Amino acid sequence: MEKPRLKTWFHLKDEFSSFKLIPQEHARYLFGDKDISLRHDLLMSLKECAYSEHGYHAIIWGTAGRGKTHMANNLRLTAYEEDLPLELVYVDCPTIRSAKEPLKTFFAALFKSIPPRLVKRFVTKYVEALDANPEWEKRILSELGNDRSIYNAIKDGLVLPNENTIRGILGWLGGEPYNISDISEQAPRQIESGEQMARNVGALGMILLLAEGKNLIILIDEAERIATVQSGEQFWGWPSAFREVFRRSAVGLILFVIAEHEDNIPDILMQNEILSVIGANNIFGSPTFAPTDAESFLRQLLEKMIKKDPVPPSLQSILNETGESLEYYPFTEEAFQEFIQHHSLGGANESKPRELLNNLERAAQRAISLDKKLIDIEVLQKVIQGM
């Protein structure tokens, strides 16, 4: 006898095996009217900044489980599919224990998140076009603080065929030690200045802009991890480096921060010299669900996941036998309304996408265990009460 599977039991489309969403795997899907509106506004701002060949900065804050990682991945994919003049790079912010943490902890992670193939592609185009555009070299050297040894390492090293070499050079640009002398004789084995690391980010962004007409946009997830940078002897190296990276004209940074409210955004990002570059109007909150938010999220999720066009005969048979509507499937109408209420009025822990998806998955699994073709109020109450 074939074992039951959630996918077939609840008539899910081929690309889904459960009701849970994996940010990278399901990046093309975004649900909920508010999140879709925010994504639209962010893309519009990115496009408008690209008209003048400038990066765009923003902070997105919200509680854990609110969907910020999913938003970051969806932004990256949507920008690609809409062929915007942008390269969006996702960075998982590393753990930063205190201001004593070396700056390379952050900057090396940033550089090494840029795919080597992408870097090789646009740096190669830059080098190939240099003879026809000799003024480009001055612009990149200016970004680098006129450090020709780093310029040569970028120009000669990031076009090499070995991806591991490119990855090593990217880490070096972010402060990691690397034997770079074979590529650029005068270059130091390790870059220790945070301001220089920031300028290196700007140089790569400018090379991309010159070579392909695209702005580099860096999506920094879990950016609340920089909140530990607060005080101490080495503190000022961090805000100095951050100020420098925000000043790089061809580069944009969008930071996704776990925070209960705006006051919990890391202090380093709220310093006047950084906040003025980001812009107070570019700080966006992701509030927990109100009833209309939970309903729009759930309806759009089910519309995308359930086979409805056409309705499978087995599903139509279930609806005919129970008298329930396709509109609420896989719930009964009563359970659907109760589910929305629980995930909008049940408190901050329940009123967010992650918890809604977790409970939807558990309810579907419990329904199968009880041999029920719909998630009814009995099943739902057992799951919500943790039974």
* All structural domains of the chain with their residue ranges: 6-20+290-384, 33-286
Structure-token pair, residue 348: 């901050």
Q: What is the dihedral of CA 62, 63, 69, 75, to 10 degrees?
A: -20
Pick from 291, 222, 262: which is nearest to 65 by CA? Answer: 222
Q: What is the mean pLDDT of residues 291-311?
A: 95
Q: What is the pLDDT of residue 3?
A: 81
Please give the pLDDT value at position 130.
97
pLDDT at residue 387 in the model: 62
Does residue 361 have a pLDDT over 60? yes
What is the three-class DSSP state of 365? helix
26 has pLDDT over 70? yes
Of 234, 126, 106, 242, whose CA–CA distance to 171 is shortest? 106
Does the pLDDT at position 140 exceed 60?
A: yes
Rg (CA), the chain: 25
* Distance from C-alpha of 74 to C-alpha of 54, rounded to nearest angstrom: 22
Percent of the chain with pLDDT over 70: 98
> How far is 342 from 358, CA to CA, in rounded Å?
13
Architecture of the CATH domain 33-286? 3-Layer(aba) Sandwich (3.40)
Put the strands of the sheet holding 215-221 in their side by side order. 86-92, 215-221, 251-258, 58-62, 283-286
Q: Both tokens of residue 94?
A: 């590393």
Rounded to an integer, what distance in angstroms lies between the CA atom of residue 385 and that of residue 387? 6
CATH number of 6-20+290-384: 1.10.8
Q: What integer best gives the mean pLDDT of the chain? A: 94
The residue-averaged pLDDT of 149-173 equals 97
279 in the Ramachandran plot: left (φ > 0), alpha (ψ -120 to 50) or beta?
left
Of the listed ranges 6-10, 202-206, 220-224, 229-233, the one predicted with least confidence: 229-233
Which of 116-120, 180-184, 375-379, 383-387 bottoms out in mean pLDDT, i.e. has the lowest?
383-387
Is the four-CA dihedral 182, 186, 192, 196 of positive or negative sign?
A: negative
